[in-house]
Each structure stands twice: as C-alpha cells, then as structure tokens.
Amino acid sequence: EVQLQASGGGLVQAGGSLTLSCKVSGFNFEEYKIGWFRQAPGKEREGVSCIDGSDGRTYYTDSVKGRFTISSDSAKNTVDLQMNTLKPEDTAVYYCGVDLHDSTCPETFRYGMDLWGPGTQVTVSS
C-alpha cells in the first residue's frame, strides 16, 4: 500500500527553523517525484518544493528559494524539507505528495500530486 506520512510541524517564531519529514512506503520513491505543498487558511494549496527521486534535482517556488532545502534519504525512505528563516506568511498546513505519472516538478506545482499524505501544521509567529 502506498503511503506518505508528514511530520515535524509546530509553532516557531519568525526567523526560526523547522524540518519537516515525509516518510514514504509502498513504492520506491527514487522512481518518482516527491513534493511538499502547503495550504494556508482561505487559500489554495500551492507547491513549495519538489525533488526528482531519480536524479535528485530540486525545484522551489520563488518565495522559499534560499530559505528552504528539500532532500531525500533512500536508506530511511524519507524526503525532508529544511525550513530556515521562517516568516509568518509560511504559516500553513504542509503536505507531501507523490507524482506517479512522470510529470515534471513544475507540472506537479500546476496540477498537483497523485497521492497525498496527511498534513502537518506549521505556525510562524511574528
């Protein structure tokens, strides 16, 4: 069974850091693209970062470039999102998802992922 489980959310002050972790099971994530998305209250879900499991290439939305880093660990079957210099506007529920149809990372940002895990809340106080 394909599963994704996000963890690591919490409350942090502006300027602080958090690391989210997406545990994947039931598939070899090195064959697919895994992405982190977020949804703030009253807003649509948006792509934050994406990693191509086959070659490690990464992709970020402009608002997080230079602050967030996505990485994968094949031994642990995890895809992490290191978030630094957090801002109040980063507050959202964060979700990890997997693309199973060989979309590019930009395409996943536009069309979404095929499967999602439960979200984890990130709250950044000012």
User: How much is the pLDDT for 67?
Assistant: 98
16-73: per-residue pLDDT in tens? 999 999 999 998 878 899 999 999 999 999 999 999 988 999 999 999 999 999 999 9
**Distance (Å, whole) CA 52 – CA 29:** 9
Is 1's pLDDT higher than 90?
Answer: no
Torsion sign, CA atoms 9, 14, 19, 24: positive
- Contact at 8 Å (CB) between 46 and 37? yes
Tell me the average pLDDT across 10-17. Answer: 98
Quick: pLDDT tens for 64-108. 999 999 999 988 999 999 999 999 999 999 999 999 888 999 999
